[in-house]
Amino acid sequence: MENEYYVCTGCGLLCDDIEIELDDGKVSKVNNACLKGVARLKECNRPAECRIDGAPASLEDAIIETARILKEADSPVIFGMGNSTSQAQKNAIELAKKTSAYFDDTSSFCQGPIVEAILENKIRTCTLDEVKDKADVIVYWGADPSNSHPRHLSKYTYFPRGKERQRGWEEDRTAICIDVRKSDTATICGDKFYQIPPQADEELLNALTNGLSGKVPKVSFGMGPKKILELANMLKKAEFGVICVGLGLVYSLEEIEPLVRLMDKLNEVSNFYLIPMVGQYNMRGSNHNLHEETGYINRVKFTGNDVEHGAHCSVVELLRKRTVDAALIIGSDPMSSLPGSIAKELLDIPVITIDPCNTLTSRKAKVSIPVATAGSECGGTAVRMDGVEVEFKAMTETDRMCDAEILERIMGEL
């Protein structure tokens, strides 16, 4: 009998080799997934409840109340999307147009600049399948996939045998880690771990670019030119190299130009690609869908046929400056993920959450709408961290509606 495989929506890796067992219509066993994936695919311990002002409500009433709030708001924001199917994202964009809303997603304060540079062809990228088949040098910079994307090394980058890398990690591949601390991934990389001080990433990027340009690379911290040149030479000799960029690198750069310059230099002397270590399973999908519609990946405001874009349209600035008077949060928990001093602004405006689980944000929301969990209870498509579209089907049946359907119902009510 042929095995049936499912897709895990636990992170941006979208592992497509998941086997499950069902018991009484619920996922009882998950095979091949990592710890995080198993937890994601099994029902959360505290599923969201349909509530208005803290009191139990019918789905119908919650949808009517949501439509009322959005209609009455002068400047609503629609935010989240990283844990939504592509169809839900497209529906959310339509809803933002209809309500003249701001629209932003979590990439706004994480991997956004990297995905933007990729979509604008400023940085070369490749697929994880190409990495598996061809990559001989893998650099994790400011990333610790052993904790953030536990199957990244085993499924695609360092450990597997690939078409052109039959000897795998033992002989064919070199994994390098650059980070501010000796993470679990750094431990795997052994003597190819390069520890740098916090906020020193830009200096090392520039030093490597200089080293690859024949200049003496210098940094202000305790890494001598010899050590930097040793790293530069490893990168130069790569037949197929990839830099997997984590938030440690993204957050330490004021702008990504030093990274773009290093990538350009690497591609003069070698063959290098870059993949962002996207966290949420479909954050990149939101970037792609909005880009297709507006030419921007995030941070927009719709007004009629006009689209405004910029940092002032980011969820962080909108909350900081109290620009918005209502928020529709889809598959996200900004009360947890934003700085407390900024997230607290959500307490002063009506918030609607659409989420499968009870979250800090849903607990404070005026309207909380429960939905099916994408991946286990709801099918759809998503865009993997490397830009590959992945289709997934539901594992179980549920009475709860998918996020895309809920958004359609809200549109209908409007």
**Interface region with another protein, contact rule CB under 8 A, candidates 32-40, 88-96, 210-218, 391-399:** 32-40
Site for another protein in 328-367 (CB under 8 A): 333, 335-343, 357-360, 363
Question: Measured from the CB atom, is 277 or 406 closer to another protein?
Answer: 277
In degrees and rounded to multiples of 5, residue 234 shows phi and psi of -60, -40
- Give the β-pairing of 174-179 and 193-195: parallel
How many residues bind to another protein according to rule CB under 8 A? 52
Q: Any contact of residue 311 with another protein (CB under 8 A)?
A: yes
Written as one letter, the residue type at 226 is K
Q: Which residues contact 180 (CB under 8 A, 6 or more apart)?
A: 142, 195, 196, 197, 198, 200, 248
Q: Any contact of residue 144 with another protein (CB under 8 A)?
A: yes
**Interface region with another protein, contact rule CB under 8 A, candidates 35-43, 116-124, 234-242, 300-308:** 35-43
Q: What is the distance between the alpha carbons of residues 394 and 22, in angstroms, rounded to a whole number?
A: 12
Q: Any contact of residue 181 with another protein (CB under 8 A)?
A: yes
Q: Any contact of residue 307 with another protein (CB under 8 A)?
A: no
**Interface region with another protein, contact rule CB under 8 A, candidates 36-44, 91-99, 259-267, 392-400:** 36-44
Among 85, 157, 183, 286, binds another protein (CB under 8 A): 183
Question: Measured from the CB atom, is 224 or 339 closer to another protein?
Answer: 339
Q: What is the distance between the alpha carbons of residues 127 and 285, in angstroms, rounded to a whole number?
A: 15
What is the end-to-end Cα distance of the chain in Å, rounded? 49
Q: Are 316 and 104 in contact (CB under 8 A)?
A: no
Q: Are 134 and 162 in contact (CB under 8 A)?
A: yes
Report how far apart, in Å, the C-alpha atoms of 309 and of each of 92, 295, 296, 302 are.
17, 10, 7, 9
At closest approach, how far in Å is the CB of 108 from another protein? 6
Token couple for 360: 């800090």
Q: Any contact of residue 28 with another protein (CB under 8 A)?
A: no
Q: Are 360 and 46 in contact (CB under 8 A)?
A: no
Interface pattern 51-90 for another protein (x via CB under 8 A): ----------------------------------------
Q: What is the distance between the alpha carbons of residues 269 and 238, in angstroms, rounded to a whole number?
A: 10
Question: Measured from the CB atom, is 156 or 273 closer to another protein?
Answer: 156
Interface ranges with another protein (CB under 8 A): 10, 34-36, 38-40, 42, 44-46, 108-109, 144, 146-148, 150, 180-183, 195, 198-199, 247-248, 251-252, 299, 311-312, 314-317, 320, 333, 335-343, 357-360, 363
